[in-house]
Amino acid sequence: MLNRLYLDGNLLEVVPPDLPPTLQELKINENQLKEIDDNSFRDLSSLVILELEGNLLSEGNTDPLAFSPLIQLSYLRLGRNHFRTVPQGLPRSLLELHLENNLIEEISETVFNQTINLNLVSLRHNKLDESRIAPLAWINHRHLESIDLSHNELYLVPSYLPRSLVHLVLVGNNIERIPGYVFAHMDPGLEYLYLSYNKLDGEGIEPESFFGSYDSMVELCLDNNQLLSVPSGINAMTNLHFLRLNNNKIRSIPDESICDPNHNGDATLVALRLENNYIDPQKVSPTAFSCVRASSSVVLKPQKSDRSLRKTKN
């Protein structure tokens, strides 16, 4: 009758043998697992949730056939291990894959071939750069809506992202550029884009960088970069609710930079963050925020002074 078995925080080096076939949830986090072989999950065809975080696992000691008995597995956590590549042989039934805090350097063309139902992949805190993500790795996935690539080694927003992508997290990389048309192939379109704590200075953002997301984008975070002005294309986002541009080097807010003066629809922006730039609030035209629902939703203070800018240059 046993459905759930939690073995976290022990000293297990292998998955215990002869586990009950009724198990739907198995957690062996924070142990010393050194191996997963082709019999480790034998007879566990009812397992839906498997967590193996904080162990000593890698592609070298994880058999590609290890997960094949898990025909109902939906949720797999393998964070805080020693994987350099995404493990092979992942179950076709998988919906969520968590591989945070590993050493993953590449995503091959075939690693997600079987997991056609994937909805979420988290790869934050790894060692990926955009050149090591194969063009056909996941572009044709029809259900993959959320990808977290924060705290990797990316220098630009990766191309060939899934067509179905809705939610993309790229916080804390070294991103300097958003290539033109990088979101153009997405359907129905990207809704949430988090690019906080990168190295965007405006030169790497083209007029076509956000093409394909103008009607879909709901939340855009560009805070804590090195932007000198509001990037072009933002005023064309007709469904934008939340915009973060705080902690940049923006000096002015032209009338048409955030809100399209020719747009006749309802105001859509619910929250706009612009603090910690170099903006003089007295010089911002009231019409610059015509698409914001309430003036109290605009955060303009505090601002940095030119004196602090000169200090950073020195």
CA gap 5, 153 in Å, rounded? 37
DSSP state of 75: E
Half-sphere exposure of 128 (CA within 13 A, CB side): 30
- For residue 265, the model assigns a pLDDT of 72
Q: How confident is the model at residue 66 (pLDDT cuts 50, 70, 90)?
A: very high
- For residue 145, the model assigns a pLDDT of 98
Q: How confident is the model at residue 32 (pLDDT cuts 50, 70, 90)?
A: very high
CA gap 17, 226 in Å, rounded? 54
In this prediction, residues 296-306 reach a mean pLDDT of: 91
For 284, other C-beta atoms within 10 Å of its C-beta total 17
Q: How confident is the model at residue 308 (pLDDT cuts 50, 70, 90)?
A: low
Q: pLDDT digit string (tens) for 129-151?
A: 999 999 999 999 999 999 999 99
In this prediction, residues 171-197 reach a mean pLDDT of: 97
For 257, other C-beta atoms within 10 Å of its C-beta total 17
CA gap 69, 79 in Å, rounded? 21
- For residue 313, the model assigns a pLDDT of 52
**Cα-to-chain-centroid distance, residue 228:** 25
Greatest distance between any 2 Cα atoms in the chain: 72
Q: What integer best gives the mean pLDDT of the chain? A: 94
φ, ψ for residue 123, nearest 5 deg:
-125, 30
Please say whether the beta carbons of 264 and 238 come within 8 A. Answer: no
CA gap 28, 33 in Å, rounded? 8
Is the whole-model pTM more than 0.85? yes
**Cα-to-chain-centroid distance, residue 38:** 32
Position 57 pLDDT exceeds 70: yes
- For residue 295, the model assigns a pLDDT of 82
User: Of residues 7 and 296, which shows the higher confidence score?
Assistant: 7
- For residue 285, the model assigns a pLDDT of 87
Half-sphere exposure of 35 (CA within 13 A, CB side): 8
Position 310 pLDDT exceeds 80: no
* Lowest mean per-residue pLDDT among 49-53, 210-214, 283-287, 300-304: 283-287
- For residue 95, the model assigns a pLDDT of 98
The full length of the chain comes to: 314
Q: pLDDT digit string (tens) for 205-233?
A: 998 999 999 999 999 999 999 999 999 99
Question: Which H or E element spans position 71?
Answer: none
Cα separations in angstroms, 273 against 97, 195, 276, 278: 33, 14, 9, 13
CA gap 172, 36 in Å, rounded? 32
Tokens 């697992």 found at: 33
In this prediction, residues 236-249 reach a mean pLDDT of: 96
Cα separations in angstroms, 101 against 50, 82, 196, 238: 17, 8, 19, 36
In this prediction, residues 5-23 reach a mean pLDDT of: 97
Q: pLDDT digit string (tens) for 255-295?
A: 999 998 877 777 789 999 999 999 998 999 888 998 998 88
Half-sphere exposure of 296 (CA within 13 A, CB side): 0
Tokens matching residue 33: 């697992």
Position 99 pLDDT exceeds 70: yes
Burial class, 73, CB count within 10 angstroms (exposed 0-12 / middle 13-18 / buried 19+): buried
Q: How confident is the model at residue 311 (pLDDT cuts 50, 70, 90)?
A: low
φ, ψ for residue 153, nearest 5 deg:
-125, 40
- For residue 225, the model assigns a pLDDT of 98
From the list 261, 265, 263, 259, the residue with the least C-alpha distance to 295 is 259
